[in-house]
Every structure is written in structure tokens, then in C-alpha cells.
């Protein structure tokens, strides 16, 4: 995995010392090598920090160019079908390295930008074509890898993380208060917004085409997940087995060992099982919570023993909340998922033994494993329900409630925020959910699509990327094989969703492999006990001299009212924002 950086100026020249400073801020993403390319006219610079897995030699370093020096690339990610693509391209391009990076360059030279539809993997890259004076900024289908940019019309800066863009000194630290408000609604800041004015995220499955002479840009969505309702064939379970097995095989292509996170749930346990069937013996890593009967480390150890793999664990407790102090530098903008700290801790642990791990993100989304998906399916059919009771299920409102963890609607935001910020509150605070709600989909698929675009794409994958890369660890997610998603979305939901059995298609492929104690476990998210997060004395201390209050952003009376309660997740959101604000603004 790597960090990427690029800068284009319309007039003047690239300041190499400043660019190197920006690149240094991404060194945690790629400690193995730092590369820099500045064009002859000093208007364009590309940078790269490398965490190497394929072709560990200097030949694999980036930025990388084609044989003619016309196309330049800075690439973050892994292309899992690079060997197959390389074989297909070998008749048209003379390869000089064993990297997947060079395959991207060759594929662009042969097929043009449409080549991205042939890629399997996780990726974010900047590709400069000097022949047409254009830069393409590309992000993978699900948003596994991040990509941010600033385009003033006279200057373009893009990077893997916001901190590199802010290190340029070209972007004023002006908070985007619309995004600020969104954070409290969603627990994250939804794309394309960021916490800073005039800086944006590139959305998943999207690329930008930018003219380096005029800075005009085009947004192109290159992939959409389409739903059909075809009947399954009798070999569906085996077909899913082969897709997952092949994905794990592709995801473990590397010149260094690959480990795995292990929670003792279906997803991570299945991945370790598939690694074992492929002849691998991975190191596995788990996190537990002290004095908690549901702590996942006990289940992880059971699976590790059953599958004969080594497992190492770290145990969190109330003192682990001290990691909140560094979260603003890990994530760059506030994110209030309660597993931001545990994910950071288990990534830190894994880095002591390996450079990369597999993780089970994506399985719940596509196999229907989340509790809220199951709860929604227990609701009466909307057509029947409306005709009998005169009511209709508002899917977006229902989903917003399910996702909230301390619900903020427009009314609640106005109670919390200083009146001067009220104009920044979106008229429809659930705009992002509504944007990704497709009413033509079946009931389950409409929720799954929201999960893929909103929950997973914006919260889960952001969390896993930053927490791991802050520790120079790469996380690979085999369930996010787009062919798996396309296959299951093509089915009638009754073929893969069974109320009596969670994640039916995955279960059928592991039911004779894992211990009954694991197979019979109730679904449990990657969380810890509430007592770690609902200590009111902790919140009183952290918000005693609130910078958000001092700057007349949040009302003290609102905080005081929350502190009279014994259980309210709104406090967690406020403290995470408080930590971010003190680090980036009030320091």
C-alpha cells in the first residue's frame, strides 16, 4: 500500500521543498521508499511513498512511467488480476518490471482510460498523459482506497489523505460548516464533501478527467451495481465458494507474507479457512475487551486453535480511550464510529509481525448479515402494510434511525449549534441517504445498496484504511470482489437471504468447517462494551472547557443537558469533534 500525491500549477513553478514536506506527511502510508517526479517545465509534480509487496527492487518504485516517458503514474492499491492482464497485454507492451503498477500504465496505453473497467482490486491513482495534457484521478468501485483533491482553477493538488493537501499551505483552514453539520447526522462526512471548504473527496467508482492547461474537470461514474431478479442455479453455493476462494487466492499474491484479522465471526473465520485450503498458514490478530463476557478474542482463539493457526491478541480497556488524542491525525477529519480505537490497536499489533492482513469487510453488506437488514425484512411488506393500515414505510427515515447512534435531525442540530451556523444545515439532513436510495430495488437490496454506498463506502472503509495505514499496514478485503457483488445482486433475494440463517450463502460454505460454537454465535458488530463509552465523568472532563463552545459553534446549554443523562451517543460524536477541532483549529 502507498501514499500518492500530485500538484499542478497554471503559472509559476512547483516549490520542491514544500512538495517534499507534503510528501513527508504521507510517509506512514509507504515507509519503504519515497519517489518524486517534477516535469521539465516545473508545472507538474507527482509523489509517492511506497509500502512494497511486488517486485521489491528499485524497478518497482514510483512515480512510474511508460517506456517512452509520456505517461506517468502514482498508484495506491493492489490490482489482483494483474497477472492475467499482463499476459493479455504482453503482445502490445514491453514490460520492464514485475509490478501491478506497470500493468496499469500498459493497460492505459493499449485500451485508454476505459481500461479501469477491467481492473479487479482496490486502487486510487493519478495518471498523467503528457500527449493530451490531462490527469486522470481514479478511485476503486467501493472506495476502499481514498483520494482527495483541491482544484482552485489555477492549481490542482490531490493526495491520499487530507493532511498532505493542507501541508501545502495553499488551502485556508476554513471549516465547511455544511459538512460539519453532516458529521453529526452520519458519524462521518459524506462524499464529495470534506471538513474543509474547497477540498473534496472523489466518490467511489468515479474518476476525474482534468485538463492541466485549463483545469476544467469532468466527473465520470464508471461502474454501477445493477440488480436483477434471476433465479439461482442449483450450483449457486459452490459457485459462491469458488468466487470467494479465488478472491482470497488473488488477494494473497505477494512477495511477502500476508496475515489476517480474526474476530471469531463468520467473515474473518471463513477467510482464514480459505487461506488454509490454499496451503497458507497465516498469522492472525485479534482484539478483546477486558472484563466483558462478549469479548471477541475468546472466539478468535477458538477458531485459531480449530484451524491450527497462530493468533496474537491485544486487550482494550477504559484506558484505551487515550488513543482519542491521536485520532485527529490518524483520520484528518472527524469520524465517530466507536471502533476507530480498537481498529487502530489491532492494526498496530498486526504490524509487529506482517505488512498486510486480510479482513472481512463487505460480507455483511452482500450476504445480508447486518441486524438492521434483518429487522427491515421483518417489517410488513410495504404495499400490504399501506393498504391495511394506511401507512407506508419511509425507507430513508427508517435507515437514518437505524444508522444514527445518537440521532441528529434538523431540529436537534439547531438546538446544538450556534444560531449563526443554522443557515449551513442542509434542508434535508438525510440528503446523502436519499441520494443513494433506489426505490426500484427490492426491499432488501434497497437497504444493501444504502449500506454499500453509505455505511461501508464512507464509514467502514475510511476507518479501516486510516487505522491500518497509520501503522504502515495494508488491509485487503477479499469479499469486496466486484464479481461477487454483481453475482449476488443479480439474484432474487430469496436465493441468498434466509430469515432462519444469517448469511446463508456464506454459512453453507463453512458449516462443516467451523466449530458449532462459532456457527451458532449471534451477530456482533466490531464494538466494545458500553461501559467504555458511556462514562459520564469522562465526558464531563473532556468537555469542561470546550473549544467548540469557546468559538461559539456548539451551545454550552446543549452539552450541559446531555451530561445529565446516563446514556447518549451524541456525547461521543461531540467529543470526537472536540478532539479534531482542538488539534486542527484551536492549538
| Residues designated as active site | 2
Q: Which residues contact 417 (CB under 8 A, 6 or more apart)?
A: 181, 425, 553, 554, 555
At 155 the three-state DSSP class reads: strand
* Cα–Cα distance, 98 to 86 (Å, whole number): 9
Helix (H) or strand (E) segment spanning residue 316: strand 311-316
Distances 335 to 186, 188, 580 between C-alpha atoms, Å: 9, 5, 9
Three-state secondary structure call for residue 109: helix
321 sits in which H/E element: none
- Rounded to 5 degrees, φ, ψ at 130 are -70, -20
**CA nearest neighbour of 159 among 118, 102, 207, 201:** 201
Quote the DSSP letter at residue 453. I
The Cα 195–Cα 198 span in angstroms is 9
Alpha-carbon gap, residue 382 to 41, rounded angstroms:
62
- Cα 157 from Cα 165, distance rounded (Å): 6
Question: Who's near 416: CB < 8 A, 6+ residues apart?
Answer: 184, 408, 554, 555, 558
* Contact criterion met (CB below 8 Å) for 442 and 488: no
Q: State whether residue 436 is helix, strand or coil.
A: coil
Residue whose C-alpha cell is 433475494: 493
Tell me how far the alpha carbon of residue 238 is from its chain's centroid. Answer: 29
Q: Please report the sign of the dihedral spanned by the C-alpha atoms of residue 290, residue 292, residue 296, residue 298.
A: positive
23 within 8 A of 5, measured Cβ to Cβ: yes
Nine-digit cell at 487? 453475482
Q: Which one, of 390, 372, 374, lies nearest residue 382 by Cα?
A: 390
Instruction: Give the number of other Cβ atoms within 10 Å of residue 504's Cβ.
Output: 20
| CB of 266 closer than 8 Å to CB of 506 | yes
How buried is 170 (Cβ within 10 angstroms: 0-12 exposed, 13-18 middle, 19+ buried)?
Answer: middle
Q: Would you call the peptide bond into 63 cis, given omega within 30 degrees of 0 as the criterion? A: yes
Q: Are 343 and 467 in contact (CB under 8 A)?
A: yes
The whole-angstrom separation of Cα 481 and Cα 477 is: 8
Spatial separation of the C-alpha atoms in residues 574 and 458, rounded to whole Å: 19
Q: Residue 69: is it exposed, middle or buried by C-beta count within 10 angstroms (0-12/13-18/19+)?
A: exposed
- CA dist 417 and 415 (Å) reads 6
Amino acid at each position: 500500500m502507498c501514499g500518492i500525491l500530485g500538484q499542478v500549477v497554471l503559472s509559476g513553478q512547483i516549490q520542491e521543498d514544500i512538495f517534499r514536506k507534503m510528501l513527508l506527511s504521507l510517509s506512514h502510508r509507504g515507509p519503504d521508499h519515497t519517489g518524486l517526479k517534477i516535469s521539465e517545465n516545473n508545472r507538474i509534480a507527482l509523489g509517492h511513498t511506497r509500502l512494497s509487496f511486488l517486485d521489491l527492487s528499485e524497478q518497482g518504485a514510483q512515480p512510474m512511467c511508460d517506456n517512452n516517458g509520456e505517461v506517468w503514474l502514482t498508484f495506491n492499491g493492489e490490482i489482483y488480476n494483474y497477472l492475467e492482464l499482463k499476459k493479455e497485454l504482453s503482445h502490445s507492451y514491453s514490460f520492464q518490471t514485475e509490478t501491478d503498477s506497470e500493468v496499469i500504465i500498459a493497460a492505459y496505453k493499449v485500451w485508454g482510460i476505459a481500461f479501469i473497467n477491467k481492473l479487479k482490486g482496490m486502487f486510487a491513482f493519478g495518471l498523467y498523459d503528457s500527449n493530451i495534457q490531462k490527469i486522470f484521478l481514479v478511485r476503486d468501485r467501493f472506495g476502499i482506497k481514498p483520494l482527495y483533491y483541491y482544484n482552485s482553477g489555477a492549481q490542482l493538488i490531490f493526495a491520499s489523505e487530507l493532511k498532505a493537501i493542507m501541508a501545502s499551505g495553499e488551502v485556508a483552514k476554513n471549516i465547511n460548516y455544511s459538512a460539519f453539520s453532516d458529521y453529526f447526522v452520519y458519524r462521518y462526512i459524506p462524499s464529495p464533501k470534506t471538513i474543509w471548504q474547497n477540498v473534496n473527496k472523489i466518490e467511489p467508482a468515479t474518476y476525474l478527467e482534468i485538463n492541466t492547461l485549463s483545469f476544467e474537470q469532468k466527473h465520470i461514474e464508471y461502474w454501477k451495481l445493477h440488480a436483477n431478479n434471476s433465479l439461482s442455479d442449483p450450483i449457486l453455493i459452490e459457485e459462491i465458494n469458488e468466487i470467494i476462494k479465488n478472491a482470497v487466492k488473488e488477494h494473497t499474491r505477494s512477495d511477502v507474507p500476508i496475515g489476517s484479522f480474526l474476530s471469531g465471526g463468520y467473515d474473518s473465520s471463513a477467510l482464514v479457512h480459505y487461506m488454509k485450503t490454499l496451503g497458507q498458514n497465516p498469522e492472525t490478530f485479534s482484539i478483546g475487551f477486558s472484563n466483558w463476557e462478549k469479548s471477541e478474542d475468546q472466539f478468535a482463539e477458538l477458531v485459531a486453535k480449530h484451524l491450527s493457526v497462530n493468533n496474537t491478541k491485544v486487550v482494550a480497556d477504559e484506558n484505551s480511550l487515550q488513543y482519542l488524542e491521536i485520532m485527529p491525525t490518524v483520520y484528518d477529519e472527524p469520524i465517530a464510529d466507536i471502533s476507530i480505537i480498537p481498529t487502530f490497536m489491532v492494526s498496530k499489533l498486526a504490524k509487529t509481525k506482517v505488512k498486510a492482513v486480510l479482513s472481512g469487510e463487505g460480507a455483511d453488506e452482500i450476504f445480508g448479515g447486518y441486524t438492521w437488514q434483518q429487522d427491515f425484512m421483518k417489517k410488513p411488506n410495504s404495499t400490504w402494510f399501506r393498504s391495511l393500515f394506511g401507512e407506508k414505510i419511509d425507507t430513508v427515515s427508517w435507515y437514518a434511525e437505524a444508522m444514527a447512534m445518537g440521532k441528529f435531525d434538523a431540529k436537534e442540530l439547531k438546538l446544538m449549534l450556534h444560531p449563526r451556523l443554522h443557515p449551513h444545515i442542509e434542508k434535508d439532513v438525510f440528503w446523502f441517504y436519499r441520494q443513494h436510495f433506489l426505490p426500484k430495488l427490492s426491499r432488501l437490496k434497497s437497504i444493501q445498496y444504502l449500506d454499500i454506498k453509505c455505511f461501508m463506502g464512507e464509514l467502514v472503509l475510511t476507518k479501516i484504511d486510516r487505522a491500518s495505514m497509520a501503522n504502515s499496514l495494508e488491509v485487503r478485503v477479499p469479499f469486496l470482489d466486484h464479481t461477487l457483488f454483481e453475482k449476488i445482486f443479480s439474484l432474487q433475494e430469496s436465493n441468498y437471504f434466509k430469515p432462519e440463517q444469517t448469511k446463508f450463502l456464506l454459512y453453507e460454505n463453512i458449516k462443516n468447517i467451523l466449530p458449532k460454537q462459532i456457527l451458532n454465535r449471534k451477530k456482533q458488530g466490531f464494538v466494545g462494551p458500553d461501559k467504555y463509552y458511556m462514562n459520564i465523568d469522562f465526558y464531563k472532563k473532556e468537555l469542561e472547557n470546550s473549544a467548540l463552545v469557546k468559538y461559539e459553534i456548539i451551545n454550552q446549554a446543549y452539552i450541559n443537558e446531555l451530561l445529565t443523562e446516563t446514556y447518549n451517543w451524541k456525547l461521543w460524536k461531540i467529543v470526537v469533534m472536540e478532539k479534531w477541532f482542538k488539534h486542527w483549529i484551536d492549538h
